[in-house]
Amino acid sequence: MMISLLVNDRIFEVESPAGESLLSVLRRLGFFGVKHGCETGECGACAVLMDGKTVNSCVMLAAQAVGHALQTIESVGAHPEQGWKITPGLHPLQQAFVETGAVQCGFCTPAQILAAKELLDRNPNPSEEEARQALAGVLCRCTGYIKPVQAVLRAAAVLRGEAVEPLEGRLSGDEGIPAPADWLGGGEGGPEPDGGPLAPAGLPGRAVQTRTRLLPHITVTPETETWSSVGRPEKKVDAVKLVQGKPAFTADVEPRGMLVAKVLHSPVAHARIVKIDASRALQLPGVAAVLTWKDLPRVIYSTAGQSDPIPGPLDSFSLDQKVRFVGDRVAFVAAESEQIANQALELIDVEYEPLPALFDPAEAMLPGAPVLHDEPEYVNFADSDPARNLAAHIHIDIGDVEKGFAEADQIFEGVYEVPKVHQAHIEPHVVVTYWDEDDRLVIRTSTQVPFHARRILAPVLGLPVKRIRVIKPRIGGGFGGKQEVLIEDVAAHLTIATGRPVIYEYTREEEFIAGRSRHPMRIWMKTGVKNDGTVTANAMKALTDTGAYGCHALTVTGNTGHKSMALYVGDGPYRKSPNIQFSADIVYTNHPPAGAFRGYGVPQGYWALDRHMETIARALGLDPVEFRLKNALRAGELQPFSTAWSEGREPRPETIETCALEECARQGKAVIGWDQKYNNPAWHTVEGKPHLRRGIGTAMVMQGTALPYLDMGGASIKMNDDGSFNLLIGATDLGTGSDTVLGQMAAEVLGVPLEDVIVYSSDTDFTPFDKGAYASSTTYISGTAAVKAAEQAAERIRRRAAKMLQAGLPSGAAIDWQEIRLADRRAFAPDGRSVSLAEVAHNALHHEDQEQIMGVASYVSPTSPPPFAAQFAEVTVDIETGQVVVDRLVMALDSGVIVNPLTASGQVEGGMAQALGYAVCEEMRYDEQGAAREVDLTDYHIFQADEMPEMHTLFIEIFEPTHPFGVKSVAEIPMNGVAPAVGNAVLDACGAAVNENPITPERVWQSLKKEIA
Ligand code: FES
Ligand code: FES
């Protein structure tokens, strides 16, 4: 039927089939700022304003909007500089989102801005709580909400006509920042009791007052003092387009004649397909293709997006005659519309021969258990053994743990469990494929690994690598979920079959049943300790459920030991020769496959290790912080695992160059008020509420920075006529801000502001190779490549500038090009004379010894310098119900030099928010038949803006000498410490020792009951 919609003050007459959602129509009309994140009104990404009120367009029929005025992000503001045209520029809300770093992946940003606009249109002076409530309907998986809330309050101030100060420089806190008075339980100078102002929002002087802080505190390292771009809170290079809702994401295109793909998923956990008949589906008008296992070549591969050779078994086919989990692939459909594609799925006739299913990894390893992978094409990696359902096995011995146990005064043992949890990026997996005019297959996809995807897909599709082009547009979050070649083959096979463009986008339910997740594990700990607290030996054993396929099986669980058990080497003689053992079985079951998820196995390790360390400290009567620091790794010592294991490759010993863990602990303690609270009985109770108990807990963690001797990053840079530069990188910014920090490093080398560096990532046709975004490697590996490329360009500039400046000197005098300094868009001779970079570029491109000034470089690291952090948590527990409220999280990190305090603190805040879900509520569960219980964002709860605790980030900078700008990684480490710190705080509050996370009320209550019994 024809309907008439009023959108952004324009009338659109549009044909819309009955039942079509408003979201679908608006996107068909080209309003790509309205995003699809789910189908059931839970995420808020599709929000628009209808008559000034926020509505979720995915759960409204288009017809319901007739007669109402709709507003989308496209009408809110525009880029301020558009040639000769005068525009009003960005709306203050958009401006504030850009300035405060509220935009990470930017997928939720249009909806957040519209929700905030509704608030400010009716309430020009909202409190922080009101801002949080306004944003509560729009889920964000990246930011932790601090910066979006700050942005709303900042915009409100601007709209009221108040001055807000620019965000510049760094807040340094060399001596440690004391806890705010109310964090200590009230007192002078504290905040208003209603949740009003606590501290300036990271801004000097009077500005927006909020309880949360925008810029982190940084203990600044002296090396950074002279830099002009590195170290500054620069605006993200993609923020301006993202706040306007520009069509930057994979699905924001509509090639003519595009088909919609759908996948038939298995309803059973383990079965052989004995008959499959697609003829009825093919007869349905509008169906262009149906593919089953009979139609595709049988090519075995691994879906894990890792460097070659993939360190895991090859055990997957695009379509197979066997299904191995509820949600596994059975058939692919391409049709003219989503509706027809869904109808076609119901017309595919499948007969399954059920096979016994395995849901417990321990049972799956028993002799005689059914075998999941009996296909003859299976390719082993290392110790995988499909006959025993073993995807991988790890055994690492450092020193001699038995000797260490014998030398101990006490032995502590414990069993810990961690659940399967979901990445829950707000942009689902999505891919568009098409043949280009040269008959090359273009794959436009939301991936973290475009180059690995091309390499892995080529044999699967029967195409050489050179006939595939992978384009990675902006990514709406990934968190490891998109380090997987998960859906690209579906659309590509259908494009090959039909010759037409195809889009395949997961529904939210598909994300849960067919996407990847964090590996669940059961972990045994055994630790030997002297009575003075010296750890003499430490052993960890993990049993991992990899699900039906072994993607990332070896490497994720390897990291569980590698980056957690390495932290505690012991004290005294044990520092030089620690006794550590790690072993693991990674086992196939008929659950959906696990895969990469931010932290990559390490959060699992720290839940067990740090809960165990807490138990030991308390049993020995030692201060938990001092006990950890006594045994923790220090600078100058070997990363113990580097001597014994390297993901199946030859290990190469690595020395820890920098470690500021002690200072992290000192400053973190000061901010949370540890000394005033720990062991203070008065603080642990709440006046007038005898059922409540307060508790405080800590955890110390480390991570890695990139994979040494393996992963490579590349960058190229070229100079333009006006002295600006194009920086082309294969690295994939999935919302982390890596495009920005790589641009900052290049800008620093070239002596230009960041705005003169146009960053583009990534396209396998145009950008240099890069391993992609994983393993905390982009700033370190790809950043070094960008610095090297910039240095090459800088050398060409300085040589030419020396020649140009030579012209003004008396004959015989010479300028050494190495003395030319680049700064402020100019090249300076030692005598102070200078030429502009635009003049140098003109000279090079048009006038003398013409050349394109450019640089190309790549980098592989010989080391993986670990970042370290001290995590603190404060909780209130209701001992009658077991309910845990996390009140505060403080994280103090040594991540080396912080290139951009806004993006780095955004990573920490967002990581802590994700880790908080891991601590208290997120868990993927299955029924007896293996069907997922959580298939939407209602049952699988992720934190909303109005549910967050106070969070505080501190960076303790040390210059890491293995990187040109002294950086280490920051993106993954925030996942590691929150859950154990919360678990330890719950123990501190009420004595409930919960060894299985998440720490649900039921588990706390059960544990309390056990204590009483
Ligand atoms: S609420 Fe509409 S897309 Fe999620
Ligand atoms: S910035 Fe909010 S979902 Fe990514």
DSSP string, 864-897: -PPPEEEEEEEEEEETTT--EEEEEEEEEEE-BS
Q: What are residue 171's DSSP bridge partners?
A: 217
Does pLDDT of 947 surpass 90? yes
Cα–Cα distance, 612 to 410 (Å, whole number): 14
φ and ψ at residue 611, rounded to 5 degrees: -65, -35
Determine the distance separating the centroid of ligand 1 and the alpha carbon of 41, expressed in angstroms.
4
Mean pLDDT of 509-537: 98
Top mutation candidate among 35, 98, 108 for ligand 2, by most atoms within 8 Å of CB: 108
Cα–Cα distance, 852 to 179 (Å, whole number): 55
User: Is the Cβ atom of 424 under 6 angstroms away from ligand 1?
Assistant: no
Place of tokens 């100078």: 189
Does pLDDT of 57 surpass 50? yes
392 — pLDDT class (breaks 50, 70, 90): very high
Determine the distance separating the centroid of ligand 2 and the alpha carbon of 742, expressed in angstroms.
20
Cα–Cα distance, 392 to 384 (Å, whole number): 4
Determine the distance separating the centroid of ligand 2 and the alpha carbon of 216, expressed in angstroms.
20
Cα–Cα distance, 843 to 747 (Å, whole number): 21
Distances (CA, A) of 695 to 625, 682, 982: 15, 11, 9
Top mutation candidate among 109, 241, 736, 903 for ligand 2, by most atoms within 8 Å of CB: 109
Q: Is the peptide bond before 998 cis (omega within 30 degrees of 0)?
A: yes
Determine the distance separating the centroid of ligand 2 and the alpha carbon of 112, expressed in angstroms.
9
User: Is the Cβ atom of 251 under 6 angstroms away from ligand 1?
Assistant: no
Q: Is the Cβ–Cβ distance between 998 and 934 less than 8 Å? A: no
CA 406 to chain centre: 42
614 — pLDDT class (breaks 50, 70, 90): very high
Determine the distance separating the centroid of ligand 2 and the alpha carbon of 31, expressed in angstroms.
19
The string of DSSP letters for 237-279 reads TTHHHHHTT-S-BTTS---TT-EEEEEEEPSSSSEEEEEEE-H
Q: Is the peptide bond before 762 cis (omega within 30 degrees of 0)?
A: yes
Residue length of the chain: 1013
pLDDT at 182: 66
Q: What is the mean pLDDT of the chain?
A: 93
Q: Is the Cβ–Cβ distance between 378 and 549 less than 8 Å? A: no
**Alpha helix locations (H) across 563-660?**
573-576, 602-619, 624-631
Top mutation candidate among 26, 32, 42 for ligand 1, by most atoms within 8 Å of CB: 42
Joined together, the tokens standing for residue 675 give: 């000394």
Cα–Cα distance, 32 to 476 (Å, whole number): 13
User: Is the Cβ atom of 41 under 6 angstroms away from ligand 1?
Assistant: yes
Does pLDDT of 273 surpass 50? yes
Interhelix angle for 128-135 vs 109-122, to 10°? Answer: 130
User: Is the Cβ atom of 42 under 6 angstroms away from ligand 1?
Assistant: yes
177 — pLDDT class (breaks 50, 70, 90): low
Determine the distance separating the centroid of ligand 2 and the alpha carbon of 46, expressed in angstroms.
13
User: Is the Cβ atom of 44 under 6 angstroms away from ligand 1?
Assistant: yes
Does pLDDT of 333 surpass 60? yes
Mean pLDDT of 30-54: 98
181 — pLDDT class (breaks 50, 70, 90): low
Q: HEC states along 653-704?
A: CCECCCCCHHHHHHHHHHHHCHHHHCCCHHHHECCCCCCEEEEEEEEEEECC
Go through 926-954 and write b for each residue having 16 or more CB atoms within 10 A of its CB, e for each that does not. beeebebebbbbeebbbbbbbbbbbbbbb
205 — pLDDT class (breaks 50, 70, 90): very low
Sheet holding 410-418, edge to edge: 390-398, 580-588, 535-547, 521-529, 410-418
SS3 859: strand
Type of residue numbered 898? I
- Please report which ligand is nearest the Cα atom of 151: 2
- Ligand 1: which residue has its CA nearest to atom 1? 41
pLDDT at 221: 80
- Which residues lie closer than 8 Å to 449 by C-beta, 6 or more apart? 305, 306, 482, 483, 485, 732, 771, 772, 773, 774
**Alpha helix locations (H) across 211-356?**
239-243, 279-283, 338-346
Determine the distance separating the centroid of ligand 2 and the alpha carbon of 736, expressed in angstroms.
10
pLDDT at 172: 54
Cα–Cα distance, 850 to 360 (Å, whole number): 68
pLDDT at 189: 33
What does pTM read for this prediction?
A: 0.94
- Ligand 2: which residue has its CA nearest to atom 2? 140
Type of residue numbered 636? G
Determine the distance separating the centroid of ligand 1 and the alpha carbon of 128, expressed in angstroms.
25
User: Is the Cβ atom of 38 under 6 angstroms away from ligand 1?
Assistant: yes
- Please report which ligand is nearest the Cα atom of 48: 1
704 — pLDDT class (breaks 50, 70, 90): confident
Cα–Cα distance, 35 to 308 (Å, whole number): 35
Nearest to 757 by CA among 713, 781, 793: 793
Q: What are residue 5's DSSP bridge partners?
A: 12
Does pLDDT of 198 surpass 50? no
CB atoms within 10 A of CB 85: 7
Determine the distance separating the centroid of ligand 2 and the alpha carbon of 442, expressed in angstroms.
27
Atom of ligand 2 nearest to the CA of 106: 1
Atom of ligand 2 nearest to the CA of 426: 3
- Please report which ligand is nearest the Cα atom of 42: 1
Q: What is the pLDDT of residues 858-909, one digit of tens each?
A: 999 888 899 999 999 999 999 999 999 999 999 999 999 999 999 999 999 9
User: Is the Cβ atom of 56 under 6 angstroms away from ligand 1?
Assistant: yes
pLDDT at 183: 67
Mean pLDDT of 20-25: 97
Least confident among 207-221, 477-491, 792-806: 207-221
702 — pLDDT class (breaks 50, 70, 90): very high
Nearest to 645 by CA among 712, 574, 557, 577: 557
Does pLDDT of 484 surpass 80? yes
Joined together, the tokens standing for residue 94 give: 């958009």
Atom of ligand 1 nearest to the CA of 58: 2
Does pLDDT of 362 surpass 80? yes
- Please report which ligand is nearest the Cα atom of 909: 2
- Please report which ligand is nearest the Cα atom of 143: 2
Top mutation candidate among 24, 25, 34, 46 for ligand 1, by most atoms within 8 Å of CB: 46
Determine the distance separating the centroid of ligand 2 and the alpha carbon of 149, expressed in angstroms.
13
Q: Is the Cβ–Cβ distance between 433 and 502 less than 8 Å? A: yes
Top mutation candidate among 38, 104, 138 for ligand 2, by most atoms within 8 Å of CB: 104
Top mutation candidate among 135, 141, 242 for ligand 2, by most atoms within 8 Å of CB: 141
Tell me the percentage of the chain whose pLDDT exceeds 70.
Answer: 95
Q: What is the pLDDT of residues 829-840, one digit of tens each?
A: 999 999 999 999
Q: Is the peptide bond before 309 cis (omega within 30 degrees of 0)?
A: yes
Atom of ligand 1 nearest to the CA of 36: 3
Q: Is the Cβ–Cβ distance between 519 and 557 less than 8 Å? A: yes
pLDDT at 810: 79
Determine the distance separating the centroid of ligand 1 and the alpha carbon of 23, expressed in angstroms.
9
Q: What is the pLDDT of residues 546-603, one digit of tens each?
A: 999 999 999 999 999 999 999 999 999 999 999 999 999 999 999 999 999 999 999 9
Determine the distance separating the centroid of ligand 1 and the alpha carbon of 921, expressed in angstroms.
21
Interhelix angle for 109-122 vs 146-159, to 10°? Answer: 40
Atom of ligand 2 nearest to the CA of 103: 1
- Ligand 2: which residue has its CA nearest to atom 3? 140
pLDDT at 217: 79
Does pLDDT of 24 surpass 50? yes
CB atoms within 10 A of CB 157: 21
Q: What is the pLDDT of residues 630-650, one digit of tens each?
A: 999 999 999 999 888 777 677
- Ligand 2: which residue has its CA nearest to atom 4? 105
pLDDT at 609: 98
Place of tokens 């048009």: 846
Atom of ligand 2 nearest to the CA of 112: 2
Determine the distance separating the centroid of ligand 2 and the alpha carbon of 745, expressed in angstroms.
24
The string of DSSP letters for 377-419 reads T-B--TT-BGGGTEEEEEEEEES-HHHHHHH-SEEEEEEEEE-
- Please report which ligand is nearest the Cα atom of 906: 2
212 — pLDDT class (breaks 50, 70, 90): low
pLDDT at 194: 34
Cα–Cα distance, 681 to 841 (Å, whole number): 69
pLDDT at 652: 84
Does pLDDT of 192 surpass 70? no
Q: What is the pLDDT of residues 953-999, one digit of tens each?
A: 999 999 999 999 999 999 999 999 999 999 999 999 999 999 999 99
Q: Is the Cβ–Cβ distance between 298 and 317 less than 8 Å? A: yes
Least confident among 444-458, 705-719, 847-861: 705-719
Mean pLDDT of 736-753: 96
Joined together, the tokens standing for residue 231 give: 């170290």
User: Is the Cβ atom of 520 under 6 angstroms away from ligand 1?
Assistant: no
Q: Is the Cβ–Cβ distance between 316 and 232 less than 8 Å? A: no
Distances (CA, A) of 592 to 357, 704, 933: 12, 28, 12
pLDDT at 286: 98
Going by their DSSP bridges, the two strands 580-588 and 535-547 should be labelled as: parallel
- Which residues lie closer than 8 Å to 68 by C-beta, 6 or more apart? 6, 50, 51
Does pLDDT of 191 surpass 50? no
Mean pLDDT of 699-706: 91
List pocket residues of ligand 2, CB cut-off 6 Å.
104-109, 140-143, 426, 477, 735
Determine the distance separating the centroid of ligand 2 and the alpha carbon of 108, expressed in angstroms.
5
φ and ψ at residue 354, rounded to 5 degrees: -65, 145
pLDDT at 130: 97
Does pLDDT of 663 surpass 70? yes
Q: Is the Cβ–Cβ distance between 70 and 7 less than 8 Å? A: yes
Radius of gyration of the chain (CA): 28
Atom of ligand 2 nearest to the CA of 477: 4
pLDDT at 599: 95
Determine the distance separating the centroid of ligand 1 and the alpha carbon of 94, expressed in angstroms.
21
Q: Is the Cβ–Cβ distance between 172 and 220 less than 8 Å? A: yes
- Please report which ligand is nearest the Cα atom of 913: 2
Cα–Cα distance, 221 to 174 (Å, whole number): 10
- Please report which ligand is nearest the Cα atom of 54: 1
- Please report which ligand is nearest the Cα atom of 140: 2
Atom of ligand 1 nearest to the CA of 56: 2
Greatest extent of the chain over all pairs of C-alpha atoms, in Å: 96
- Please report which ligand is nearest the Cα atom of 57: 1
User: Is the Cβ atom of 43 under 6 angstroms away from ligand 1?
Assistant: yes
Mean pLDDT of 463-475: 97
